[in-house]
Amino acid sequence: MTDADRSDLLTAIRSAIAAAPNADTAMTQAVRLLKDAIPYYSWVGIYLLDGNELVLGPFVGKPSPHTRIPLGRGICGAAASEKATIVVDDVNADPRYLACSLETRSEIVVPIMENDDVLGEIDIDSDTPAAFGDADRRLLEQVAALLAESLSED
């Protein structure tokens, strides 16, 4: 995917989020657009923070056994605790990893932040090793910022 394709995708996601009547629809549209546009995104989902747990919201891909993840667990819990994007090139080499599918090889988790508060996160798995680069991180951090606005308006 070229930079221009990514820019078009971000524009489409921004429009969909702006047109969505509520944050749930905005999140559903965003995960669908990301999954459809980028072939190496095998599973795309959003977790929302509820107390000390991350609760699975809209997702596209196989059902995950991890519908609630405590903040101290998994790569998801680590990204929320550290309030920072985490990219894992080889999930099987990362002791934090909670397996969702045997095919998954790499993962990116991007917190959705409002000021210093974590609202949730975008979690993407890939069946390709080391699938996520700087361009993915930039795109997903921009999508996370759009979702933060939508969630804080609800």
| Nearest CB to ligand SME, comparing residues 4 and 93 | 93
We find the least distance from the C-beta atom of residue 56 to ligand SME, in angstroms, to be 7
Q: Give the range of 17-25, 33-41, 66-74, 114-122 binding ligand SME by CB under 6 A.
A: 66-74
CB under 8 Å, gap of 24 or more: what pairs does 3-6 form?
A: 3/135, 5/37, 6/135, 6/139
Chain centre to alpha carbon of residue 64: 14
Beta bridge partners of residue 88, listed in sequence order: 107
Q: Give the range of 2-10, 29-37, 68-76, 110-118 binding ligand SME by CB under 6 A.
A: 68-76
- Closest CA relative to residue 108, chosen from 72, 68, 152, 78: 78
We find the least distance from the C-beta atom of residue 74 to ligand SME, in angstroms, to be 2
Residues in touch with ligand SME (CB under 6 A)? 43, 45, 64, 66, 69, 74-76, 97-98, 100, 107, 123, 125
